[in-house]
């Protein structure tokens, strides 16, 4: 299965799993709380940030709108669409994203708010050094299919996919 940009596996995530892991992230962040606010890294970090904000009763939410992936799932030039509107260095804030992959996006956000706590649900080896708190580590060659990227469809049995490959 060729998935582009060096990804050889898919890891589908359901809404229920994402919600459960978002709550688990909030549990881990409890010991670091209270926070002044949440910074959601858009677009993927918006749903996890909403879950964390609800669970920690945080009402102040800002976004940093940043894009690095191309359509073929490779990382391109980082494009800051909307910068942060945080008046300081991020101390007391928590940045929430769905995942850290190569760490490129995370490095850019960290430069904006170097003292903020960075939290993700999923983390890959190349980006681990950018994250303070995460829930699940996945291999670098795995493309995570978030619920908003999926729709119900027929799936061939694994044995049929294996036969087709070789």
Binding-site entries for Mg(2+): 98
Tell me whether residue 101 is one of the annotated catalytic residues: yes
Q: What is the DSSP letter of 27?
A: H
What three-state secondary structure class fits 65?
Answer: strand
Which residues make up each annotated binding site for xanthine?
101, 144
Tell me whether residue 141 is one of the annotated catalytic residues: no
Which residues make up each annotated binding site for guanine?
101, 144
Tell me whether residue 98 is one of the annotated catalytic residues: yes
Candidate list 97, 129, 141, 149, residue with the active-site label:
97
Task: State the residue for tokens 């049995």.
Answer: 157
Which residues make up each annotated binding site for GMP?
101-105, 143-144
Which residues make up each annotated binding site?
43-44, 97-105, 143-144
Candidate list 71, 98, 141, 149, residue with the active-site label:
98
% helix / strand / coil in the chain, to the nearest 5?
30, 30, 40
Candidate list 71, 72, 89, 101, residue with the active-site label:
101
Print the SS3 string covering 89-150.
CCCCEEEEEEEECCCHHHHHHHHHCCCCEEEEEEECHHHHHHCCEEEEECCCCEEEECHHHC
What three-state secondary structure class fits 19?
Answer: helix
Residues tagged active-site? 97-98, 101
């Amino acid at each position: 299965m060729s998935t582009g940009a060096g990804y050889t596996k898919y890891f589908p995530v359901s809404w229920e799993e994402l919600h459960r892991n978002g709550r688990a992230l909030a549990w881990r962040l409890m010991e670091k709380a209270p926070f002044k606010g949440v910074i959601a890294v858009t677009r993927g970090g918006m749903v996890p940030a909403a879950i964390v904000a609800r669970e920690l009763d945080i009402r102040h939410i800002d976004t940093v709108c940043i894009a690095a992936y191309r359509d073929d799932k490779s990382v391109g030039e980082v494009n800051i669409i909307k910068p942060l509107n945080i008046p300081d260095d991020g101390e007391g804030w928590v940045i929430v994203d769905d995942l850290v992959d190569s760490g490129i996006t995370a490095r850019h956000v960290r430069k904006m708010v170097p003292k903020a706590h960075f939290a993700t649900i999923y983390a890959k080896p190349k980006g681990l050094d950018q994250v303070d708190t995460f829930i699940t580590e996945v291999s670098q060659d795995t493309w995570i299919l978030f619920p908003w990227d999926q729709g119900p469809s027929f799936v061939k049995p694994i044995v049929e996919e294996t036969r087709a490959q070789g």
